Structure formats: structure tokens, C-alpha cells
Amino acid sequence: MNLTDTHTHLYSEEFDQDRTAMMQRAIDVGVTRFFVPSIDSHYTQKMYDLETQFPDNIFLMMGLHPTYVKENYLEELAHVEAELAKKKFYAIGEIGIDLFWDKSFLKQQQQVFKYQIQLAKKYKLPINIHCRDAFDEVFEVLESERATDLFGIFHCFTGDLLQAQRAIDLNMKLGIGGVATFKNGKIDQFLKEIDLQHIVLETDSPYLAPVPFRGKRNESSYTKLVAEKLASIYEVSMEEIARITTENSKNVFGI
């Protein structure tokens, strides 16, 4: 059974003490592909080190995370462009809009999101979307850039059924992780109405650990717990969930 974690921050300081063991735990339960989003320039070298250590398993994205859009955002965007010109990445991400922590950079977040979508089109790459308390704002930018060559993953999808359908209409897969296991996560109530062809698995580790580890450090081996939850929701086997969601991830990332 091959599982794919389409969103995991393996370079996080929270893994500094046991990163290799944590990776092995994931591989041991069948998670063989790990897609690693960028946050900002401070983590770029750690991402490259990870890729060197696990060349058969690690696939990197490049982008500027919306909560890191600050006064120096033009410098950070220049870094993103410079790295994209240097080597191969598998997506532009994670990018988007986040109004949970700070609304003061909304205008800049919108500009940066739009610009990075245009970079994705230039490099013929998928996008990996971060959206928190900003569905209207994210959809506004996506609609303005709507095109057949705009596609990707709506990471950590926490919207309702109508928002899910709107994301799918914009060529996005839904990234489903630990939230699907939460009692108040809500998405488990309508997921079965979404065809599995639109779903990919993720952890967002070290954040958003699934039940029974909610509130603790998340890790990529817990992709299996998300798959188990989806098997229950869709009333199919774990193997079927693994097969379909991994195939979906290949269709997005091209590998």
C-alpha cells in the first residue's frame, strides 16, 4: 500500500531531534512520497538538505507563505523566482491568503498570491493553496486567474460543500488531513458527496495531528490515520483510498 503525504513541513524544528526516525516510521506504514511546501527563504537550505538525504522520497515546492508576507515581501518573491530558475520543483506553494493572524497585509497577500499563480503558469506547475479565514479573498484571486493551466491542491481544506465544489471547478484537488478526524471538523459530514478523484491526503505535520493524537505533534506516518478515516467515510478499503489518492497526487504533481 503506497500512501502520499502531499503536504508536510519535514524541515520544522519540531523534528530536529528525531527526523530520520520519524521518516522511517512513515515509510514503514507505506508513506513513500512526501511533498514539502516552502514557507520563506529561511527554510530553503533545510529543504535542500532533506532532498539530499531522502532523494527518492522528498519532492519540494517553492513559494512564499501568506503569513510570511511582511515588509520584505518583494525580497522574498525575488528569492522564490531565483530558486525556481535554478532547479526543479513540483509545485508553487504554499501560497494563498491568511486573515486569521493578521489582516494588515491583506493587500500585499493578494498581490503575492496572484503573482505566484502567474509564476506557476510560467513554469507549468500546480499551486498549493493556504487559506485561513479567507475563502472569499482566495476565490476572488483564483477567479481572476482562472485558466485551463491553473490547477493544484487546496491544502487543508476546511470549507463547506459549496466551497469544495467551487474549488474543484477551479481545477483544485482537496487536501484532506487530520481535520477530517475531528469531532467538530465538519468536512466529514459532506465528504462522501465529493468524488474520491478530487481528494488527496496530507498531514500538514507537525500541525493538525489527527485523532487520537490531536493537540500533539503531527507526523507523516499519520497519513495512514487520515486514510483510515476516509475509508470509513467512503465505505471502501484502505487499499482503495491509498490507490486513488496517490494516483490523484500523481496527476497533480506529474510524478
Alpha helix positions (H), 29-160: 44-53, 73-86, 106-123, 135-144
> Residue 128 pLDDT more than 90?
yes
Percent of the chain residues topping a pLDDT of 90: 97
pLDDT tens readout for residues 136-165: 999 999 999 999 999 999 999 999 999 999
- Mean pLDDT for the chain overall: 97
Q: Identify the pLDDT of residue 99.
A: 97
Residue 236: is it exposed, middle or buried by C-beta count within 10 angstroms (0-12/13-18/19+)? middle
pLDDT tens readout for residues 205-254: 999 999 999 999 999 999 999 999 999 999 999 999 999 999 999 999 99
Strand partners, 130: 96
The pTM for the full model equals 0.97
Q: What is the DSSP letter of 219?
A: -
Strand partners, 153: 128, 173
The C-alpha cell 467551487 sits at 166
Contact 99, 137 (CB under 8 A): yes
Other beta carbons less than 10 A from residue 122's beta carbon: 12
pLDDT tens readout for residues 77-105: 999 999 999 999 999 999 999 999 889 99
